């Protein structure tokens, strides 16, 4: 018969000789404490799930759009990784800059060809550096795309379910891009 070696109690840390090889605690008090901590952990997990669901129910249309914007911008940064600033060719662009602004042209907010990598200087301080941005788009996509972006567009009001679909779409694309980069 195999000799049972002393163990340290997983609750109090005291050394004890277990009566079974699977025993993790030294006695009844520690067993009760371990059981309570497991129940509390399950309750916290359940509560955080409920909290997430409640938060989602309280989100406004604007909140959902902001969520989509964050994910869309992350997608732009990843999909154009290694590119230079579309306006000034700075080699370290960090922003997803809109050619046609979200405020003036909300219908182009999530149009991929309207959003390109820009350095902070061009996107923030120089108001988009639009003349150079336009030249960059012509080089990248062609004059037809610029003319289309500058042309008239029907207004678009995405429903919350459409926004959620776009969020899932871009999350999937981001995951694919990350996998591509990690395998490269």
Q: How confident is the model at residue 45 (pLDDT cuts 50, 70, 90)?
A: confident
- How confident is the prediction for the chain on average, in pLDDT? 90
Q: How confident is the model at residue 145 (pLDDT cuts 50, 70, 90)?
A: very high
CB-based contacts of 146: which residues, under 8 Å, 6+ apart? 134, 137, 138
Give me 122's structure tokens.
């061009």
Higher-pLDDT residue of 46, 89:
89
Give a yes or no: residue 136 inside a domain.
yes
Q: In this structure, what is the dihedral angle of CA atoms 93, 96, 99, 102, given to the nearest 10 degrees?
A: -150
Selection from 110, 114, 116 nearest residue 170 by Cα = 110
Give a yes or no: residue 13 inside a domain.
yes
Query: Where among 42, 58, 74 does a domain terminate?
Result: 58
* 34 and 102 belong to one structural domain: no
* 106 and 89 belong to one structural domain: yes
Give a yes or no: residue 33 inside a domain.
yes
Is the pLDDT at 109 greater than 90, yes or no?
A: yes
Residue with tokens 């289309």: 148
H or E element that contains 96? strand 95-98
Count how many Cα atoms sit within 13 Å of the Cα of residue 61 in the half-sphere of its side chain: 5
* 16 and 66 belong to one structural domain: no
Q: Calculate the CA 149 to chain-centre distance.
A: 27
* 106 and 158 belong to one structural domain: yes
* Structural domain for 82, as ranges: 61-183
Average pLDDT over residues 31-42: 85
* 110 and 91 belong to one structural domain: yes
* 33 and 65 belong to one structural domain: no
Do residues 63 and 112 make contact, with C-beta atoms less than 8 angstroms apart?
no
Q: Is 116 exposed, middle or buried, given 0-12, 13-18 or 19+ CB atoms closer than 10 A?
A: buried
Q: pTM, whole model, 2 decimals?
A: 0.71
* 70 and 152 belong to one structural domain: yes
* 87 and 53 belong to one structural domain: no
Pairing of strands 15-16, 7-8: antiparallel
C-beta neighbour count of 64 within 10 angstroms: 20
Average pLDDT over residues 107-122: 95
Q: In this structure, what is the dihedral angle of CA atoms 101, 103, 109, 113, given to the nearest 10 degrees?
A: -10
* 30 and 71 belong to one structural domain: no
Domain count, the chain: 2
């Amino acid at each position: 018969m195999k000799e049972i070696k002393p163990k340290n109690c997983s609750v109090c840390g005291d050394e004890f000789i277990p009566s079974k090889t699977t025993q993790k605690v030294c006695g009844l008090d520690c067993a009760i404490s371990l059981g309570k901590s497991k129940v509390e952990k399950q309750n916290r997990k359940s509560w955080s799930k409920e909290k997430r669901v409640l938060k989602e129910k309280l989100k406004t249309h604007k909140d959902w759009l902001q969520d989509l914007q964050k994910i869309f911008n992350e997608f732009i940064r990843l999909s154009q990784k290694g590119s230079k600033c579309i306006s000034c060719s700075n080699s370290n662009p960090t922003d997803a800059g809109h050619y046609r602004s979200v405020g003036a042209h909300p219908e182009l907010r999530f149009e991929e060809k309207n959003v390109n990598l820009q350095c902070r200087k061009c996107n923030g301080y120089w108001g988009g550096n639009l003349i150079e941005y336009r030249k960059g788009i012509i080089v990248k996509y062609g004059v037809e795309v610029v003319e289309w972006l500058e042309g008239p567009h029907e207004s678009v009001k995405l429903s919350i379910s459409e926004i959620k679909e776009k969020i899932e779409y871009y999350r999937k694309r981001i995951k694919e891009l990350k996998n591509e980069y990690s395998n490269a």
